[in-house]
Each structure stands twice: as structure tokens, then as C-alpha cells.
Amino acid sequence: MTLKFCANISWMFREAGAVPLRYGAAGRAGFRGVEAAFLYDHPVEEVVKAKEEAGVEQVLINMFPGNLAEGELGLAALPGRQQAFKDGLELSIKYANALNCKRMHLMAGRVPVDWSREAALPSMEETFVENLKFAAARLEKEGILALIEPINSKMTDPKYFLNTPQQALQIMQKVGHSNVKLQLDFFHQQIMDGNLTNSIKEYLPHIGHMQISQVPGRGEPDTEGEVNYDYVFGVLESVGYGGWIGLEYNPAGDTVAGLEWWRKYMSKSK
């Protein structure tokens, strides 16, 4: 089988300009699917026009993240922000439906600045479960899959609430809804736990999306680092993973020049 890769246009093709311009750059590079973090600075009509002209599928968007300027990075686990979460969800559904996007990452958010993680954990978990129950049902009506992603606390964001797949699965069990799946990013998984082969096999039934980049530099998969992606791709093929894999990495230079690994993989898979 051949794995499916989608370009993350919040990270890739920055040389093309603003995010709407990156749709065309991704399409011209040969991608049939794209994902994006935050599109909400651009009118939905502008984003839809760019996506349609590029002829690509919108594989994934992140939900509206809250007030980035004030340090928010997601609303789903923030006590006292439940109405803001619901309002942000409706805005995000508007974008997702217009883009015919069927996956949405619901970012948990950061532990409030004046709280310790230990003190915040019970109320944040309760809020997260409550909001995910609401969102799972709401998104199911729209045909959109809800995703939650652990973000590593060792390098990327020590204040982020959701850090490991184990924690994510515990949350998902408490939510108890089939429309919530795990978004597994191998960058974060390698930093927090490693054990990629067994993690793929163990978490596969719960996974709704994957993302990759090299560790620790977060560059292209074939750059120097800890992860042998040729081997990882072989594991994913062997277990029959048929979903998309998002390329959430920071190109070392020109995005297209750094896609030689992808061209080699696609050529080999023909």
C-alpha cells in the first residue's frame, strides 16, 4: 500500500506568502491534500477560493484557538471558558463545512499562568471531558471527526494540558463517544515516550490522523535526527494504516527542494 501525505500549509510553503497563497503552492508541488492550523485571520470565502483553485482536499483544520496574543492555545480544557469554546466551535464548523473538511483538532489549551499543573489537573480534565462530549455530538451532526493531540511538555510546551497518548486515551474513555479520535504526532510521541513501533500497533484503533517531523529539529523526515522514517513508513504500511499523514515540519529551506524524500517514496511505491 502507499501512504497518503498532506502538506501542512501553516508550516510549509511559507515562501509563497500568506496562508491562502500556499494552497496553490502545495497543489503545484503535487499534493492532493493539505492541513492547516489557524485559518481564522482570513475570510472564509478567500480560503475556500484558494483551496478550490488549487484543487486540493482540506484534510484537517484546528479549531479556533482562543486569544493567541494572551497565550491561549486552545480552549477545550480551560475552566470558565466553556461558552468561548462553544462559540469557537461554531466558527470552526463554518470554516470546516465551507472547506468540506471532515477532521477538526480540538486543542486542549495551556494550564493557566497562575496555576500549577497538579492543582489544575482535576478541573481541567473535567472541563475537557465536558467540552469533548458536547463537541463530539455537535461535530457528528456535521460529519466531522473530532481529534485531540498530545503535545510534548519536555521541549515544545510545558504548560500544555494534554501531553501523552496515555492521557488522551483516558480522556477519550471518559468522553465515551466514537466521534473522538487520537491525533498522533510522531514528533511529540518520540520526545515523550519513543517506542514508536509498539505505539503504532497499540494506538492504531484509536487514531484518526497522524503527523510527522524529524526529532529534535522538527525538519523534514529525512534530515538528521532520532527517527528512521523509512522504517516507520514500513511499519505503517504493514499495519494497513490508510489515513492521512500530515507534514507538520519546518522546511530547512525552500519547501519544494526539501521534498526529495517524498518524491523518492512516491516513486518507490508506484
Q: Which long-range contacts (CB under 8 A, 24 or more apart) does 98-101 make?
A: 98/44, 98/45, 98/47, 98/48, 99/44, 99/47, 99/48, 99/51, 99/58, 99/61, 100/57, 100/58, 101/58, 101/59, 101/60, 101/61, 101/144
Q: Which long-range contacts (CB under 8 A, 24 or more apart) does 30-34 make?
A: 31/5, 31/6, 31/7, 31/56, 32/4, 32/6, 32/56, 32/57, 33/4, 33/5, 33/6, 33/7, 33/57, 33/58, 33/59, 33/244, 34/6, 34/7, 34/8, 34/9, 34/58, 34/59
Q: Would residue 248 show up in a list of annotated catalytic residues for this protein? A: yes
Q: Which of 149, 202, 220, 224 is catalytic?
A: 149
Residues assigned a catalytic role: 149, 248
